[in-house]
Amino acid sequence: MSQTLRHTTESEHRPGPARRHRGALLDLGCALGVGLVALVAAIIALRLSPADLGRRWTSGNTGDMVAHYLVAAGAKDWTLFLPNPSMGFPGTQNQWFTPIFDFESIGVLSALALVLRDPIVILNVFQLSGFALAGIAGYYLFRALRVRRSVAVLFALIFALMPYHFERVALGHAFVGMYWGVALLGILILVVASPTLDPLAEWVDHAPSRRRRLLRRALPVLGLTFGLSVSSSYYFVFGCILLGGIVLFRAIAILIARSGWRELVWPALTVVSLVAFIGVQLALLSLDFGERYASYFAERLPFQSEQHSGKITSLLLPWDGSGFGPLAELSRGYQQSTTVSPTAEPTGTPLIAAVAMILLVLFLLVRAVAPVRTGSAGPAARFLGDERARVLAGVYLWGLLFFVVGGLGYVFAAVVTGEIRAWVRLSVVLSTVALMFAAVLLDTLLRRRVAWCSRSWASDSSRASISWEERVSAPTSPPSTTRRCALPSPQPNRSSPRGAASCSSRSTATRKPAPWAGWATTTRPSPTSSAPTTPRCAGRTEPSPAPARPTSGRT
C-alpha cells in the first residue's frame, strides 16, 4: 500500500453512521452543484438563448444530426427501441439499434418526451443535459480516487466541460456526447485494478455478515457494469478492452508469483458481468431486425480503423478554440498538412489533460530507470510510490496502444469487428485517465502543504500558549525601582525567591516579571535544580554571596 493511501485510510477512524450520512449528503450536494455549474457554463459557452432551444441546430456535416432529430421524434411517439408506425414510408421508422443510439440515451429522450412535445426541443435539451450528467458522474469518479472534495469539484468540472464535449455538439454527435459512462469506467478501473484502490473495499469489509458482504460486493459491481453497458457502444467496448487488459496483467503477475488467485475472482467477474450485459443488449437490439441490422454491420471494414485512428501529436496539441494562439495555430497547421489519417476527428483534449499526459509519461520513465524509495518523506517520493498513479499510468499506456495509427485498434478490427472504426474517440478515455492522474498529483501536493501549515500553526499555538501561561503564572508586584546589580542580602529575603537580587533598575509597572526575572541569568533555570543560582552582573565581578542562615522553624 502506498504511503498516500495509508495516510487516507489507516490513519482515519471509520466514521459513525451519522457522520457517514452527512458526508453522503454533502457529496450529493457537491455533485448536483457541479452538474448545475457545468450546465450553465455550457449554455454560456455555446451562446444559447431560450429561443435557440426551439431551433434545429445545423451542426455536423455528415447528416447525423438529422437522423438524431428523427430518433427524438420517434421517442415522442414510441418508447425504447420499438418501430414507429407514425413515421416512415411505406413501412415504419426502424432506427433503434446500437450504432445509432444506446439504451441510456433513449431512456433520457423518453423521459424528456413526457414533458416536452417538440422533438427539436427534446434533442436540444438532451444534448445540454449531457453536461450536467457528466459533471455529476465525474464528481463521484474523482471522489472514488479518495481525493479531497475541492479537488474532486475542480476536476469534475474539467471533465464535464472538455473540448471533446463541445466538438461532439459541433459535429452533430448527440449520443456520443453523452460520455458520462466514461466516469463509470474510471470507477471500475479502480475496482478491478487492486483491493487497495477499490473504493468499495472498506464498505464491504465492515459488513456485519458474510451475506451482507456478498451483497455489498455484487450489487455495486452489477450496477456499474450495467450503467456502462447501456451507454454508447464506443465506451462499453473501450471498457471491455481496458478492464480485460487489467485482469490479464494481474493474472500474469499472479501466475508468476504462484499465489493470490482469490484476489482475481471479483475482477474477473466484473469483466464477465460487463460482457454479459453487452451481449444481452446486442441480442435484444438485433432481434428480428436483420433486414438493416446485418447490412449496417457489414459495411465497415478493418482498413477504416487506420483512417479514423488517433495520433499522439493531435492528442497533445490544444484544439482550435482553446485560446492559446501559437499552440492552436500549430495544431491547425498540422491538421491541414498531415497525410496520415486526415479524416480522423479532433481529439478534444483539455490542455490540463495534455500536460498530465506528459507528466504521466515522465512518471513511467522515472519509475522504470530510477529506484523508488518509498520511505522518503518528500511529496515527490510519496507520489512515485503512489499505487493510484502507477495503475493509471499503466492503463493509459494500454489504451494508447489502441488509440494510435497502426496500433492494436487495427488488430481488434481485423480479428473481432470493424464497427468501432473511430478509435480516435478513445481520446476521451485517455483524457479522463490523465485527469485522474493530475488529481492524485494535486491532492498529494495539497496534502503536503496542509500538513506543513498544520505543523506551523501548532508550533505557533504552542509558543503562544507557553508565553500566556508564563504571564498568567508570574507574580504581580507594585511598581518599584531596584538598584542595578545589588548583591543578595545575607538575611533571607521573603519578598523575592531565594533572596536573589534584581539586576534591573527599570520600573516593572508596565510589564509583569517572569518567575525567574529576579535571578538576572542569561538562561532559564532548570525546574529540577534545587541549588541557588549566583546572580551575574555584566561588566564587573561580584563576590560570592554568603550562605543563607538556617531558619529556626519560624515562618
The closest alpha carbon to 110, from 125, 93, 98, belongs to 125
Mean pLDDT, range 443-472, rounded to an integer? 62
Taking CA atoms, 144 is separated from 4, 148, 200, 457, in Å, by: 14, 10, 9, 30
pLDDT in tens, 430-450: 999 999 999 999 999 888 665
pLDDT value at 224 more than 70: yes
What lies within 8 Å, CB to CB, of 445 at 6+ separation is: 379
In three-state secondary structure terms, 310 is strand
Q: Would you report the helix, strand and coil content of the chain in percent, each value rounded to 5? A: 60, 0, 35
Q: Note the pTM of the prediction, 2 decimals.
A: 0.76
Res 509 pLDDT > 50:
no
Span 295-318, average pLDDT: 77
Q: What pLDDT was estimated at residue 318? A: 77
Residue 519 has pLDDT above 70, yes or no: no
Residue type present at position 139: Y
Which pLDDT band holds residue 158 (cuts at 50, 70, 90)? very high
pLDDT category at 227 given cuts 50, 70, 90 is very high
**pLDDT for the residue 61:** 60
Place of cell 455478515: 209
CA 279 to chain centre: 31
Grid coordinates representing 121 are 426541443
Q: What is the pLDDT of residue 506?
A: 44
User: Mean pLDDT across the chain, nearest whole number?
Assistant: 77
Given a cut of 90, whether residue 400 has pLDDT beyond it is yes
Closest to 171 measured CA to CA, from 347, 48, 323, 328: 347
Q: Is 533 exposed, middle or buried (0-12, 13-18, 19+ CB in 10 A)?
A: middle
Judge residue 538's burial from the number of C-beta atoms within 10 Å of its C-beta, 0-12 exposed, 13-18 middle, 19 or more buried: exposed
Q: How far apart are the C-alpha atoms of 58 and 237, rounded to whole Å?
A: 30
How high is the pLDDT of residue 469?
54
Does residue 304 or residue 92 have the better pLDDT? 304
Q: What is the pLDDT of residue 372?
A: 66
Q: Is the pLDDT of residue 300 over 60?
A: yes
pLDDT, residue 376, reads 58
In three-state secondary structure terms, 404 is strand
Give CA–CA dist 332/321, Å, rounded: 10
Backbone torsion region of residue 539, taken as left when φ is above 0, otherwise alpha when ψ lies between -120 and 50, otherwise beta: left
Which of 76-80, 137-141, 357-361, 462-466 is the least confident region? 462-466
